[in-house]
Amino acid sequence: MAENDHQAALLKEIQTRLDRKLKESEIDILEYWKEQMDRVAAMKPEGIAALQMQVKKISEMMANRIRILKRG
């Protein structure tokens, strides 16, 4: 019985650590992409084409990152 309690406590601790790590990772990712979008928002483009190009660049960066994550 004590062994089961120990295993349950260990499993709960591992789950807590994993949840914390995932949350920290998600925050880091969101901060990175927010910074990218803030750069675009701060731009003073001369036309819509420059803005579209920056948005497309960010989209391509995101697509590339998704491909890398799906491979690994």
Chain segment 20-46, per-residue pLDDT in tens: 999 999 999 999 999 999 988 888 878
Q: Token pair of 37, please?
A: 């979008």
Per-residue model confidence (pLDDT) at position 44: 83
Closest CA to 69 of 26, 36, 37: 26
Range 57-62 average pLDDT: 93
Mean pLDDT across the chain, nearest whole number? 90
Q: Residue 69: what pLDDT?
A: 86
pLDDT at residue 1 is higher than 80: no
Alpha-carbon distances, residue 61 vs 10, 18, 30, 48, 57 (angstroms): 39, 27, 14, 20, 6
pTM of the model: 0.69
